[in-house]
Each structure stands twice: as C-alpha cells, then as structure tokens.
C-alpha cells in the first residue's frame, strides 16, 4: 500500500472522514471516489481559479469611493466634480481598497468554510462578479456619483441577505426562480457578461481602450491621462498608452493559456501584468512619483502584513426612503437568487449530486450558508457573496466533499496576510479578467429561445440595455416589461378578434415549464417534519433500490447513474450558470 493510500485510509477511518462522508469511512451516505488527498488537490485548483476575485472585487467596489467624502471645489465640472485626482480623496480610496482586500479574503474564507463544513459541498464562495459592478457603478456610482450613498447601499445588501435567509429556510427561492421566463434568466447572465466586458475595457477598472466621446458617447481611446480633458476624452495620442497595450497583452495571454487549459490562467496573467507594472521608472508603472503613488508604494513594500478594516466595517445606515434603494434591493435579491440557484444546481449536475427528484443533498443548508454570508459580507463592507462557477475546476480534479471547500477557505485565509501584494494590482492587470469572464458568461446566449420573437426581443433588450444603460437593473426591468407587454398584447388581440387573429406559438417556451427543482417549493426539512405528522415522507413514490449519492446508488444490485445532462427525461430544466459570476 502506497503512502497516498495510507493517508487516505487513515483520514477516511477518522471522525473527520465520517463527517465528510469520504469513501471507506463507514458513513451512511459515502461519497463515491472521494479521497482526502484528491479533495485537497481539487480545493487548491478551485482557489487558484478564483483567487483573482481578491484584487478585482476590491478594485471595482473601491471605485465607488466607499464611505470617503468627495468635496469638489465650487463650480467644478467633469472629473473635477467627482474628485478625480484629488489627493485627499484618492488617499482615502486607497485605504478603502486595502480594506476591501481584507474584507474579500475574510468573507471568502468564512463562506467557503461554512459551505464545506455544513453543506459538505466542494464549492468556493466569494463576492460575486456582476453584483459588485452593479453595486459600485449603478447603485453608489463612480466616486459616489450615484443616487445612493455607500452606507445606505451596503445596508440594502445586509437586508437582502436577511430576506434571502428567510426565503432559503422556507423554500421560497425555488418558486421565485420559476416565475422568471427562462430566456430572461439566460439573457441576464449574458447581459452581465457584456456589462463586465464594457467595464474591463474602460479606464477606471480596466485597460483604458474605451474612453468618452462628446459625439458618440464612447470611442476608441488608449491614451495616457495627460492627454485627456476633464471629461476623460482623449484629445491626442490615441492607442499610444503603454498601459492599454499591456492590458491587451493580458487579454491575449489569458485567452491562450485558457485554450491550453492552464490551471489558474486568470491569476497567472494578472500577476504577469502586475509585476511588469511595479517598477517605478517605467511608463507603465502603477507607482508614479506622486503623493498617492508614494503612499501606494510604501504599503506595497510591506509585502506581508495584516491590514485591519478601517473605513468599511459596519458602516450601515438604514435609510430606505428613496425609490432607488428599493430598486437596488429588489435587483440584488433577484440576481443573487438566480446566480446562486443556477450555479449550485449546475455544479450539482456537473458533479453528479442530483437525485431522482432533481434536488441534491445539502441544498437547503447551502442556501442558508450563502444568505448568512451575504449579510456578514455587508458588515465587512462588500457586495453579496455567492457560489463561484470556478468550483467546477475542483470538481474536475476529483473534489466531491466539503474538504475541498475548507481548502479554498484556507487559501483565502493565507491571502489575508498578503494584502500589500493584492492591493498593488493595477486596473489594466485586472481588466483583462473582466473581459474573459464576460466572454464566459455570454456563452449561454445560445440557449435563448430565438425561434419565437416574443421571447427573443425581451431577451435581446435585457442583454443590450445592461451595458448601454450601465445598469443591470435597467436591463432586467426593460426585458421583463417588454415580455409582459408583448404577451399581454398578443392575448388581448386574440381575444378581441375572437380567434381570427392568432399567433403561431409552437416555438414559444412555456413560462413555468422549466423548474430548478422537481421536489416542489418546500425545503426538505419542512417535508420531513410534515412526514412525521402525516406518516408519508417525500420520495415515497420513487424507486427504493438504494441510497442515491454522487451520481449512483450504493448497496444495490443494479447501478443507477444520475445523468448530468439537462436534456434527460425528468431533467429538462434549462439552467443558467451563475458565476461567481453574476452571470
């Protein structure tokens, strides 16, 4: 017996192994092919794949200015009115970004640990892409230019977490997921992908390829800051910025490394571009010889240190008097439900967790863990936490239990002490990641029902309006309102014409025909409680060959595979993959 086998067997036979249902542990429901060392390898793969969120999330949310106060000179316009270049404001934003690096690592560490320990799922969790951009650029606005302050917006996130917790406990999430037309769900993820790409190509959180234009609103930029006017319009030297070309190189490297399936390609390319930008005597340096550049470089030189949260910790302000904050609250709640539900069920199908009822073990606990971490993350000052689709990297490596989630948690714990490094990733190093993530999120657009124009137009408007209005909420509202208007109009015309004017609906998708769960809206714990009262337990009408687990049945003469395909009989639901991305 090899050393690897001895370690795996020793751990499996321990209480630790029985808790996580490792194969050979003697647990009631062992996870087939689950080995301790394989779980560690899978968890490491997931962490490397999603570690980019540490720098990207902090960069995006710091663009809102956090709790920093902008006091522009009287009569200031353009960038000056937004305190762009103001030394005091930029110094405050630098501290906020350092706070958010700590907050991102802390909530990702806690969330992944909870998901692994209590739900026993190999999922990594962190603040979600898309949701952070919506929070920073739509709700709060760049440098606080939106209608809602950072403190009120983060309070909305906290409330959203509590509402999500209530809905998770009582199973309301499945019901809400069914109300949204499938094409709108898919288009929401694709639209967020376009939105992230748009952000990654701009200057504040990207490579600076796209800049403002007085006539066409946006145009090709790529010039250095000294050649821009107060409104960010390039006046000369288009496409001559070394930082823009460095960002373009980052996109190219990420794409090539992804093609060759290099694990952690996003993080590796971010590091390459960042390292090139760290020397101070170059045209692409992230540390220019200015007051803010000197402060950033002094922090960078510490390398290993723990930065306590100074400005974003528990800055809640419960002022819900404006209509905008309610729109933000509802949007955050909807996107989080769709994102988390889609990601968890998609990863469950990918990993083979699905049972014959279309649900998976630990689903209710997983949603409860997610909602708790949304509320806790708000106390740290960051946007909603969600399950990351990069968890598929660990599942591909063989991860099957919550031990992989604990490994991800440990990775983020170590990252807490390297905040000077993560704080020094320039936007042109993280911008390429937004572009690549956007391309991944839009891939599900092929599943939109393009064959029926009544479904296609609302879905298209949902996607188009998100980047064009710079708002995820406006895109979703536009798509849903268009869907309702079209379908009500068709119904009224058909009724008013007494059936003489009819629309061919053979290709129309049913509104509620695609379910994320085949077991009703009530969570398992309520069904088990009802079973004790009535004597009838959920699943009594299903075959009883054995215990369904990890895609097969143990202790039965005939093995039953649970298909991972969404097209199999009894599992024809159309799932939207969420992302860690709010895809």
What backbone phi and psi angles, to 5 degrees, belong to 218? -130, 155
In this structure, the number of other CB atoms found within 10 A of the CB of residue 418 comes to: 17
Q: Which residues contact 291 (CB under 8 A, 6 or more apart)?
A: 87, 91
- Give the model confidence (pLDDT) of 80-112 as tens digits: 888 887 888 888 998 999 899 999 999 999 999
Q: Is the pLDDT of residue 68 over 80?
A: yes
Indicate the pLDDT class of residue 563, thresholds 50, 70 and 90.
Answer: very low
The token pair that represents 435 in the structure block = 């572009």
CA nearest neighbour of 115 among 394, 355, 363: 363
Predicted pLDDT of residue 381: 93
Percent of the chain with pLDDT over 90: 26
Which residue is associated with the tokens 């370690």? Answer: 7
The DSSP secondary structure of 319-384, one letter per residue, reads: ---SHHHHHHHHHHHHHHHHHHHHHHHHHHHHHT---TTS--TTHHHHHHHHHHHHHHHHHHT-PP
Higher model confidence: residue 485 or residue 521? Answer: 485
Q: What is the mean pLDDT of residues 224-229?
A: 86
- Distance, in Å, from the CA atom of 351 to the CA atom of 405, rounded to the nearest integer, reads 14
Predicted pLDDT of residue 517: 44
Q: Is the pLDDT of residue 23 over 50?
A: yes
Mean pLDDT comparison of 125-134, 202-211, 451-460, highest-scoring range: 451-460
SS3 at position 127 = strand
Predicted pLDDT of residue 424: 83
Predicted pLDDT of residue 569: 38
The token pair that represents 376 in the structure block = 């806790």
Q: Is the pLDDT of residue 562 over 60?
A: no
- Give the model confidence (pLDDT) of 405-447 as tens digits: 999 999 999 999 987 887 788 889 888 888 888 888 788 788 8
Among 250-254, 435-439, 515-519, name the one with the lowest average pLDDT: 515-519
Question: How much is the mean pLDDT over the chain?
Answer: 81
Among 371-385, 419-433, 442-456, 522-536, name the one with the lowest average pLDDT: 522-536
Higher model confidence: residue 69 or residue 76? Answer: 69
Distance of CA 418 to the CA centre of its chain: 23
CA 473, 478, 479: angle at the middle one, nearest 5? Answer: 100
SS3 at position 281 = coil
Q: Is the pLDDT of residue 455 over 70?
A: yes
Predicted pLDDT of residue 521: 56
Predicted pLDDT of residue 346: 61
Q: What is the mean pLDDT of residues 504-516?
A: 69
- Distance, in Å, from the CA atom of 431 to the CA atom of 541, rounded to the nearest integer, reads 52
CA–CA distances in Å: residue 510 to residues 5, 172, 277, 448, 576: 51, 21, 52, 13, 16
What backbone phi and psi angles, to 5 degrees, belong to 180? -85, 130
For the chain, the straight-line distance linking the first and the last C-alpha, in angstroms and rounded, comes to: 46
Higher model confidence: residue 542 or residue 293? Answer: 293
Higher model confidence: residue 159 or residue 325? Answer: 159
What backbone phi and psi angles, to 5 degrees, belong to 267? -65, -40
Cα within 13 Å of Cα(345), Cβ side: 25
Q: Is the pLDDT of residue 318 over 80?
A: yes
């Amino acid at each position: 017996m090899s050393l690897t086998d001895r370690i795996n067997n020793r751990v499996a036979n321990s209480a630790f192994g029985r808790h996580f249902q490792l194969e050979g542990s003697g647990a009631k429901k062992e996870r087939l092919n689950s080995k301790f060392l394989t779980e560690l390898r899978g968890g490491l793969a997931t962490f490397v794949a999603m570690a980019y969120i540490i720098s990207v999330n902090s960069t995006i949310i710091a663009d809102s200015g956090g709790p920093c106060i902008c006091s522009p000179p009287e009569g200031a316009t353009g960038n000056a009115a937004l305190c762009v270049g103001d030394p005091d404001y930029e110094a405050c934003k630098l501290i906020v970004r350092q706070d958010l690096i700590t907050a991102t690592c802390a909530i990702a560490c806690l969330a992944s640990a909870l998901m692994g320990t209590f739900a026993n799922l190999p999922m990594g969790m962190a603040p979600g892409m898309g949701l952070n951009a919506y929070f920073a650029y739509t709700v709060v606005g760049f440098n606080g230019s939106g209608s809602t302050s950072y403190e009120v917006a983060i309070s909305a996130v906290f409330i959203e977490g509590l509402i999500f917790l209530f809905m998770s406990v009582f199973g309301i999430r499945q019901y809400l997921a069914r109300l949204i037309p499938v094409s709108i769900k898919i288009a929401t993820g694709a639209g967020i992908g376009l939105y992230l790409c748009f952000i990654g190509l701009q200057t504040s959180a990207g490579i600076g390829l796209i800049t403002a234009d007085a006539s066409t609103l946006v145009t090709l930029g790529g010039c250095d800051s000294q050649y821009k006017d107060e409104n960010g319009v390039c006046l000369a030297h288009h496409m001559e910025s070394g930082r823009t070309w460095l960002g373009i190189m980052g996109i190219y490297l990420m794409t090539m490394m992804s093609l060759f399936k290099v694990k952690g390609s996003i993080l590796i390319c971010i590091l390459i571009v960042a390292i090139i930008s760290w020397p101070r005597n170059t045209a692409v340096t992230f540390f220019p010889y200015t007051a803010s550049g000197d402060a950033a470089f002094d922090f960078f030189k510490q390398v290993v240190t723990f930065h306590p949260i100074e400005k974003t910790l528990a800055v809640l302000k419960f002022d819900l008097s404006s209509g905008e904050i309610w729109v933000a609250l509802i949007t955050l709640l909807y996107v989080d439900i769709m994102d988390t539900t889609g990601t968890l069920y998609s990863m469950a199908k990918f990993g083979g967790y699905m049972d014959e009822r279309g649900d998976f073990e630990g689903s209710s606990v997983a949603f409860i863990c997610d909602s708790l971490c949304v509320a806790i993350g708000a106390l740290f000052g960051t946007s909603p936490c969600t399950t990351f689709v990069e968890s598929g990297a660990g599942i591909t490596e063989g991860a099957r239990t919550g031990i992989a989630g604990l490994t991800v948690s440990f990775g983020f714990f170590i990252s807490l002490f390297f905040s000077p490094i993560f704080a020094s990733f320039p936007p042109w190093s993280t911008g390429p990641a937004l572009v690549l993530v956007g391309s991944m999120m839009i891939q599900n657009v092929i599943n939109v029902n393009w064959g029926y124009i009544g479904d296609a137009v609302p879905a298209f408007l949902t996607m188009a309006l998100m980047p064009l209005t710079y708002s995820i909420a406006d895109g979703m509202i536009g798509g849903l309102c268009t869907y309702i208007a079209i379908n009500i109009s068709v119904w009224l015309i058909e009724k008013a014409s007494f059936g003489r004017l009819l629309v061919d609906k053979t290709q129309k998708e049913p509104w509620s025909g695609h379910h994320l769960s085949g077991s009703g809206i009530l969570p398992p714990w309520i069904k088990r409680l009802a079973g004790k009262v009535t004597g009838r337990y959920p699943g009594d009408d299903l075959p009883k060959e054995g215990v369904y687990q990890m895609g097969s049945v143990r202790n039965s003469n005939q093995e039953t595979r649970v298909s991972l395909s969404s097209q199999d009989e009894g599992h024809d639901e159309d799932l939207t993959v969420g992302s860690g991305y709010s895809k």
